[in-house]
Amino acid sequence: MNEIGLTHILFLSAILFFIGVYGFLTRRNMVTMLMSIELILNSVNINFVAFNKFLHAGKLDGTFFTIFIITIAAAEAAVAIAIIIHLYRSSKSIDVNDADLMKF
């Protein structure tokens, strides 16, 4: 293939998504797990933009989905980091295995 088309960008975003999944599965530290989630959300954004550009150029819906996902990712990161800092104050650790405060 001599032209960068939709499939190239979909390959890229699929690889990025699974890198994020790998990080989410192997890391046991909450901040790094949050970073993996950001990678996953970004790969989804790439998909939306690519589909909007190559398949539905007559609409802007993919652009709006991307904008809203970025907004919600920012809100999610802020709340997650507040929770992490609170958890660090109460248990002096942000390892997911140490967070058993709500265990019954």
8-state DSSP, 104:
-
- Among positions 1-40, residues that touch another protein (CB under 8 A) are 2-4, 6-12, 14-16, 18-23, 25-29, 31-32, 34-36, 38-39
Could you tell me which residues are beta bridge partners of residue 95? 29
Say which residue the tokens 């104050």 belong to.
89
With respect to another protein, which residue has the nearer C-beta, 58 or 102? 58
CA distance 81 to 100: 18
CA distance 33 to 87: 15
List residues binding another protein (CB under 8 A).
2-4, 6-12, 14-16, 18-23, 25-29, 31-32, 34-36, 38-39, 42, 45-46, 49-50, 52-60, 63-64, 66-68, 70-79, 81-86, 88-89, 94-95
